[in-house]
């Protein structure tokens, strides 16, 4: 049987966006009959404890082997809502749409950032970003696997990471086939350039009067100078804002990455004092 092992050596730190991507990937591999093993060198004292705190193991399929051992109890359940900066991983299940999810995630942002002078603007931006990204999963992803959303405020409130991950059809799989009829001028673009246009112009397989959701998210994130990180099945594209928008010439693309289904989007807001 084909097996995959993820090792977390001493001192290894995992950011929240990486954590939910890892969760999605591990669950995808199990569903496609791979044997998956996570090995934490520091045990619960290290990364494993952090992941447990955010509910990682509550969502990790039971077939995944964890070493030294799965946590006995879920720290997320134990501390629910008690931590100011870390929010538990939220499950996005198509059959049980949680109508409060964007509001709850936004409330978590506000617990850490509510005293900022621009708190109201940040609150509106965060809610819209969660609402649009999560709704996209419901509308586009066509998968039985759950998606996930999570956020964390880092370094004394100066950085906010917002991540949404789904294991369904990737954004390119849904968009590419429609280009010839809907946006013929864009059909020749590389995946990286096309992704920039998805966030810059707003593109949708449903035609020219749709696609404003992701563009709107980018517009909101831009106000906070947010970097955008998108993982596609074989690529990862990093977009940094330049002159009020995302541009192809400031996009970095990592190609030929290991296969990972779906679309995984993370915004990193710079909230410098």
CB of 219 to other proteins, least distance (A): 7
- Compare residues 219 and 248 and give the one whose CB is closer to other proteins: 219
Counting contacts by CB under 8 A, is residue 119 touching other proteins? no
Stretch that binds other proteins, among 4-12, 42-50, 214-222, 228-236 (CB under 8 A): 214-222
* Residue given tokens 């709850």 in the structure block: 104
The three-state (H, E, C) secondary structure of the chain, written as one string: CCEEEEEECCCCCCCHHHHHHHHHHHHHHHHCCCEEEEEECCHHHCHHHHHHHCCHHHHCCCCCEEECCCCCCCHHHHHCCCCCCECCCEEECCCCCCCCHHHHHHHHHHHHHCCCCCHHHHHHHHHHHHHHHHHHHHHHCCCCCCEEEEEEEEHHHCEEEEEEEECCCCHHHHHHHHHHHHCHHHCCCCHHHHHHHHHHCCCCCCCCCCCHHHHHHHHHHHCCCCEEEEECCCCEEEEEEECCEEEEEEEEEECCCCCCCCEEEEEEEECCC
Within 8 A by CB and 6+ apart from 81, the residues are none
Counting contacts by CB under 8 A, is residue 213 touching other proteins? yes
Counting contacts by CB under 8 A, is residue 219 touching other proteins? yes
Pair 16, 51: CB distance under 8 Å: no
Q: Contacting other proteins (CB under 8 A), which of 11, 33, 96, 99? A: 99
Counting contacts by CB under 8 A, is residue 128 touching other proteins? yes
- Per residue in 130-150, is it b (16+ CB within 10 Å) or e — as a string? bbbbbebbeebbebebbbbbb
- Compare residues 84 and 225 and give the one whose CB is closer to other proteins: 225
Stretch that binds other proteins, among 95-103, 173-181, 245-253, 263-271 (CB under 8 A): 95-103
Q: Contacting other proteins (CB under 8 A), which of 80, 142, 144, 210? A: 210
Counting contacts by CB under 8 A, is residue 124 touching other proteins? yes
Q: Contacting other proteins (CB under 8 A), which of 103, 158, 181, 225? A: 103
Number of residues that bind other proteins (CB under 8 A): 26
- Compare residues 56 and 267 and give the one whose CB is closer to other proteins: 267
CB of 78 to other proteins, least distance (A): 30
Counting contacts by CB under 8 A, is residue 121 touching other proteins? yes
Stretch that binds other proteins, among 22-30, 157-165, 171-179, 206-214 (CB under 8 A): 206-214
Counting contacts by CB under 8 A, is residue 46 touching other proteins? no
Stretch that binds other proteins, among 76-84, 146-154, 186-194, 209-217 (CB under 8 A): 209-217
Name the residues that contact other proteins, by CB under 8 A: 99, 102-103, 120-121, 123-125, 127-128, 131-132, 134-135, 138-139, 202, 209-213, 215-216, 219-220
């Amino acid at each position: 049987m084909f097996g995959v092992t993820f090792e977390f050596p001493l001192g290894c730190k995992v950011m929240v966006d990486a954590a939910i991507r890892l969760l999605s990937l591990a669950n995808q591999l199990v569903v496609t009959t791979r044997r998956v093993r996570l090995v934490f060198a520091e045990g619960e004292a290290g990364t494993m404890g952090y992941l447990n705190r955010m509910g990682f193991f509550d969502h990790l399929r039971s077939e995944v082997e964890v070493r030294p051992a799965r946590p006995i109890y879920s720290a997320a359940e134990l501390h629910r809502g008690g931590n100011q900066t870390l929010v538990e991983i939220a499950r996005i299940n198509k059959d049980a749409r949680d109508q409060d999810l964007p509001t709850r995630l936004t409330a978590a942002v506000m617990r850490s950032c509510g005293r900022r002078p621009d708190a109201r603007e940040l609150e509106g931006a965060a809610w819209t970003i969660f609402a649009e990204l999560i709704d996209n999963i419901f509308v586009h992803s066509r998968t039985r696997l759950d998606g996930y959303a999570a956020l964390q405020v880092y370094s004394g409130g100066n950085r906010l990471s917002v991540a949404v991950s789904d294991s369904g059809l990737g954004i390119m799989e849904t968009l590419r086939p429609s280009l010839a009829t809907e946006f013929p001028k864009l059909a020749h673009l590389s995946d990286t350039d096309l992704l920039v246009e998805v966030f810059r112009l707003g593109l949708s397989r449903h035609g020219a009067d749709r696609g404003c959701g992701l563009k709107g998210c980018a517009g909101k994130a831009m106000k906070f100078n947010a970097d955008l990180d998108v993982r596609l099945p074989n690529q990862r594209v990093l977009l940094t804002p330049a002159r009020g928008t995302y541009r192809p010439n400031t996009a970095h693309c990592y190609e030929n990455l290991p296969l990972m289904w779906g679309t995984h989007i993370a915004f990193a807001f710079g909230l410098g004092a």
